[in-house]
Structure 1
Amino acid sequence: MEAVQDPGLSPAAQLAAVLRDRLADEYGPGTEIEGLVRLSAGASRETWSFDAVKPDGSRQLLILKRDPMARQVDKKFEGVPEGRLAVGRLVEGRLLQLAREAGTPAPVIPFMLNKDGRTTEGFFSHRLEGETLGRRILREDAYAAARPKLAFAVGHAAARFHGIPLDQLPPMRGLPAAEELLHYRTIMDSFHQPHAGFEYGFRWLEERLELAGERYALCHGDYRNGNIIVDAEGLAGVLDWESAHLGNPSSDLGWMCVRSWRYGYHDKVVGGFGTVQELLAGYEAGGGGRIDEEEIHFWQVFGTLRWGVLCMILGFTHLDGEQRTVEYAVIGRRAAETEYDLLQLLD
């Protein structure tokens, strides 16, 4: 059954009615919804923050993440792994539960929201306090004590969710490194634009695929500064699992090292806050085993190339008139910046 927006109600009012009914099942009849506000305006998902006021007057601070009510076909990532491997909201919620149980800092997922005629599917999480914007994490005094701990902490957290047994995971898709690389090459070639730096990157990776490693595990898929939440003490949670898939876990660590996620703090390779040595020390301490820095470098190169192709996709989405936005135009210009970053890694 497809969810339908009631034309007589605002989206927030319709959702509030859905939430009252759903939370009555969990907290009891008479549960009220206060402070309902949408936190994101993305086409691929909705994120809402609100307080559930229970019948006894106590409050539970919650986040709802669900699929958008208005069905939107987002074509820009159809041909790349980001689109083909994306998980649904119920799977994402289950992965957060498993990650938390495994020892990864993550919000509590108390229950799910099933799709019906009034709503799309989603999941609820307890609201964490802290900062998610990468630039603020790196610049604001409130996180000064946390920053020196973060590289070790994100390594440790990754080891915990990478270690979740495959037979405990919900059905998910996977992609070997060679096949993933071929997908990105095919996309880049389809633009018929000369990018010698990217071509060099493809050739470099193709000739060194043995460095990718042979491990196979749950991968976050977008593990970077910007998808974590940090408080004054350190890493408070790992968020945004919609790109999760099965693959080589070192790809997550390499993605964390991509220059674009350092927000100007380029002397600290890992997220703008630490070193690869600290990252790998945390990973080993978390039970992930030892990883050669050469393998991380391979995946850092791969991640940089991947981001460059994604920048091209967004740029051409704007130029072709499919979805003209200033954001896509700005990101599209970053393809040249990423090409430069790639050449620096291969120098």
Structure 2
Amino acid sequence: MTDSPITLADGIAAVLSDARGESVTVGDVHRLTGGASRQVWSVEAFDADGGPLPVVLRRDPPGHGDAQRMRAEAACLRAAAAAGVPVPQVLASGDAAPGIDAPYLLMNRVDGESIPRRLQRDPELTTARSELAEQMGYVLGLIHLSDVAEVAMLDSADPLDAIEAMYREFDEPRPAVEVGLRWLRDHRPSARPKALVHGDFRMGNLLVDRTGIRGVLDWELAHLGDPIEDLGWLCVRAWRFGAELPVGGVGTREQLVDGYERATGTRPSDAELHWWEAYGTLRWLVLSRFQAQRHFGGEEFSLELASIGRRVCESEYDVLLALGLLEDPGDDPEPRSAATTVHDRPATTEIVDLVAATLTDEIAQALGDDHERQRYLLRICVNLLRIAGREISAGDDAANTVRDRLREVGCDTEADLATRIRSGAVDYDDVAVRVAVSDAVLARLRVANPRHLIP
């Protein structure tokens, strides 16, 4: 007779019991949506008297752990708490534990809303929303006042060098990235003294209720660097989630820096904030490609990670937009005559539409609210199907147009143009170059996510 394997719930109960010095029992444990790089689990725990202990587990995917980063995340939470930042309390952390089987962090669960679209629209959050941009600036100021001696283990490499090195590892030259890198090198502001930088302070990583920010989450990208990086990252278009206002879709840049000045007594210039916003946009582009590579490189099979690969063109578009280098290539070329086919209907595009509609209108509805993660994955499947349908419908016309634009600047491929921008052989501000770069990005975006285009 063999012993029963230790479950995740058993492992959490043992760790919490040891940390609290009393017996802790664990009931329901379920994984929450999101968490493409780290898993997030909701834990129903009870103390020795049966009192509730709302707990959240963050852990690396088993077999893909980074213990050093998890230790650093725990240190950041403790340092930020000491500086007055609203963060969850660290209950326990470790490199591994039986049943948990990966580097982990156990925290108390903080109540509040984190879903960006609800934060942008919920009538009950109207008052908090009106003050949220200023409050985000203030909380960022508190983070940057944290004692850096407590987080000395964090990376302090030059951020632009680091993101360029990550991009080069893909060996996938992209003209929009090369344009962004050259512009950032040409316009870099003077550096500020290094501070604790959260690295991913944005809508989605904040818990908010009617009183304002209750918790700052997801410190896995924290590092030591220029504090204005966090403010620029918050202004990146991706974190507006379709809304117009530049700070998370809820406020203005002026409100953000007002709050920051209230906390720190310093105020970044418009040019400084713009540079870090442009950097953040390029950074998200490269990080998106990195996330997708975890799937395509065979490190981790993941529908979520794979789907991010089709979102890279959104950031290419946003980079050109932020730098004022996006060129409208004019009207789309006249579509070629539809090819004849020997196949019966439904045609390929009709099959995609039928399957997507059925998954959305019938199967997703049948799952119900108790299958939250399954519904989330189903939405990703539907989105990928619709991307495939748009790509089939687009045919070769866009690719042929991009090829013609590249030839106008003496290049055969986008990789060739990227290499020439990098070397300085062509000027990225030349109108013909801008058109060639923009046309390729727009061709990808019209297929991947046409709603991302600014009307």
Distance in 2 between the 1:325 and 1:112 partners?
26
Give the structure 1 partner of residue 129 of structure 2: 147
Change (3 A) 1:270 1:27: same
Give the structure 1 partner of residue 352 of structure 2: none
Q: Percent identity?
A: 35
Is the contact made by 2:137 and 2:231 (CA closer than 8 Å) also made in structure 1?
Answer: yes
TM-score (norm 2): 0.64
Instruction: Give the partner amino acid of 2:177.
Output: F
Greater Cα shift, 120-129 or 229-238: 120-129
Q: How does 1:1-347 map to 2 (within 5 A)?
A: 8-9=4-5, 14-39=7-32, 42=35, 44-68=37-61, 70-72=62-64, 88-113=69-94, 115-119=96-100, 120-184=102-166, 186-187=168-169, 190-192=171-173, 194-195=174-175, 197-209=176-188, 211=189, 213-266=191-244, 268-287=245-264, 289-314=266-291, 326-328=303-305, 330-347=307-324
**Larger of the two Rg values belongs to structure:** 2
Q: More relative contact order in 1 or in 2 (CA 8 Å, sep 6+)?
A: 1
Distance in 1 between the 2:178 and 2:202 partners?
25
Structure 1, unmatched stretches of 5+, are: 1-5, 74-82
Is the contact made by 2:36 and 2:304 (CA closer than 8 Å) also made in structure 1?
Answer: no
Distance in 2 between the 1:59 and 1:19 partners?
15
Structure 2, unmatched stretches of 5+, are: 325-455
Change (3 A) 1:172 1:142: same
Instruction: Give the partner amino acid of 2:121.
Output: R
Is the contact made by 1:43 and 1:72 (CA closer than 8 Å) also made in structure 2?
Answer: no
Distance in 2 between the 1:278 and 1:7 partners?
59
Instruction: Give the partner amino acid of 2:78.
Output: Q
Distance in 2 between the 1:142 and 1:100 partners?
27
Greater Cα shift, 126-135 or 296-305: 126-135
How far is 1:332 from its partner?
A: 2.5
Distance in 1 between the 2:10 and 2:299 partners?
35
Change (3 A) 1:208 1:321: same
Change (3 A) 1:159 1:139: same
Give the structure 1 partner of residue 444 of structure 2: none
How far is 1:44 from its partner?
A: 4.3
Is the contact made by 2:163 and 2:286 (CA closer than 8 Å) also made in structure 1?
Answer: no
Question: SS state of the match for residue 144, structure 1?
Answer: helix
Residues 306-346 of structure 1, C-alpha deviation per residue, up to 9 Å, x if partnerless?
12223344556666777675544543233322222222222
Greater Cα shift, 335-344 or 277-286: 335-344
What CA RMSD, in Å, does the superposition of the two structures yield over aligned residues? 2.8
Instruction: Give the partner amino acid of 2:7.
Output: Q
Residues 214-253 of structure 1, C-alpha deviation per residue, up to 9 Å, x if partnerless?
3211111111111111112211111000111111111111
Distance in 1 between the 2:68 and 2:33 partners?
18
Is the contact made by 1:65 and 1:89 (CA closer than 8 Å) also made in structure 2?
Answer: no
How far is 1:121 from its partner?
A: 3.5
Question: SS state of the match for residue 130, structure 1?
Answer: coil
Give the structure 1 partner of residue 409 of structure 2: none
How far is 1:177 from its partner?
A: 3.8
Distance in 1 between the 2:21 and 2:299 partners?
46
TM-score (norm 1): 0.82
Relative to its length, the structure with more helix (as a share) is 2
Distance in 2 between the 1:52 and 1:43 partners?
25
